[in-house]
Amino acid sequence: MGDILGIGVTHYPGLIQPDRQMAGLLDRTLKSEQVPEELKDPARWPEPMRKEWADPVTAAAEHRKRLVAGFRKCREALDAFNPDVVLIWGDDQYENFREDGVPSFCVFALDGINSKP
């Protein structure tokens, strides 16, 4: 019987964005009609959140640093495991399917992929 290693990582915010653009997430969130007005007031936020978001660009840089460190840790674990096969699960986000034909499960198989951000 083979061994299985499970690793879960985020795919957002995109690391391709510069820190200033990543920091804009706060502005976009605070302007969203989906966020209740009372939650948009920084005075109502927990102290650690107020401290972190006092300088959104610095917060984005720190987030990027932690995110990259986490990705590297996952990669080290994957390399140490030395798998024969890697399966990657991801959400489709309208790249291949729409409401009129969303399968419960889909396998998208490739021998390899070239990716250029």
Residue 7 has φ and ψ, to the nearest 5°, of -130, 130
Report the pLDDT value the prediction gives residue 15, as an integer from 0 to 100: 81
Q: Does 93 or 70 have the greater pLDDT score?
A: 70
Residue 42 pLDDT level (bands cut at 50, 70, 90): very high
Nearest to 88 by CA among 69, 107, 68: 107
Stretch 53-82: mean pLDDT:
94
Q: Which two tokens stand for residue 102?
A: 């969303």
Nearest to 5 by CA among 88, 81, 109: 81
Q: HSE (CB half, 13 Å, CA atoms) of 51?
A: 4
Is pLDDT at 23 greater than 70 in this prediction? Answer: yes
65-78: per-residue pLDDT in tens?
A: 999 999 999 999 99
Q: pTM of the entire structure?
A: 0.70
